[in-house]
Amino acid sequence: MECRLLQSHALISKSPVEKPKNIVYFDLETQRTANDVGGWDKKSAMGVSVGVTYSTATATYEVFPESRMSDLINLLCRADLVVGYNIRRFDYEVLMAYTILDLPHHLPTLDLLEVVEKAAGHKLPLDSVALATLGVGKTAEGLDAIRWWREGKMMEIAEYCCFDVKVTKLVHEFAMEHGELHYIDRFSRKQALKVDLAHTT
């Protein structure tokens, strides 16, 4: 299944930080909301509709339906570094319904939300960071993906998830190159965040 993604200008990292050989960017969408399963403490019951990865080793995106969760987990386990946004506290928790592994402790992970939260002092959504940093926002919301799941629109979910992976990759590359990210504050002002990716895994 091909990911038809919006094209962005390539960002070439000139950071002195040595990049791992195989970075895997990762995101997933769920079948059910937190309300559907009885609360945010039951993420493992939310179910995966689609998972998407981008591997720098192969320069390819790969889409994983629920029937291929073991393949997805194996790919993540082979990564030198897994990069995502809120993956420790959300994506991994959902994915652990399909494995005996304790993914947050098993996988070498860079969670960009944790980096942003440390720099800003509070959490910021990916859309806020991407829009201010790259001028590119999300194309939909997680609730849209759940509605598409119920309607059987797997291509829409895959394309949306692919775009989120693409945005995460570009945000990471920007941070590697410039040592900073941007966001829009509550007064609609663009703010800069100094980030250090050398001590985050």
Structure confidence by residue, pLDDT tens digits, 133-157: 998 876 667 788 999 999 999 999 9
Decide if 5 is inside a domain: no
pTM: 0.86
Beta strands in 38-195 (DSSP E): 48-55, 60-65, 81-84, 109-111, 180-184, 190-194
Which CATH number is 58's domain given? Answer: 3.30.420.10
Decide if 12 is inside a domain: no
Structure confidence by residue, pLDDT tens digits, 63-108: 999 999 999 999 999 999 999 999 999 999 999 999 999 999 999 9
Decide if 132 is inside a domain: no
- Angstrom CA distances, 186 to 79, 112, 140, 158, 191, stand at 37, 21, 21, 32, 10
Quote the pLDDT of residue 200.
54
Q: Which domain holds residue 95?
A: 23-115+141-169
The residues pairing with 142 across neighbouring beta strands, listed in sequence order, are none
Quote the pLDDT of residue 188.
85
Domain tally for the chain?
A: 1
Decide if 64 is inside a domain: yes
Decide if 76 is inside a domain: yes
Decide if 108 is inside a domain: yes
Closest listed residue to residue 126, CA positions, set 60, 172, 81 = 172
- Is 133 in contact with 174 (CB distance < 8 Å)? yes
The 3-state DSSP class for residue 52 equals strand
Decide if 68 is inside a domain: yes
- φ/ψ of residue 63, rounded to 5: -105, 130
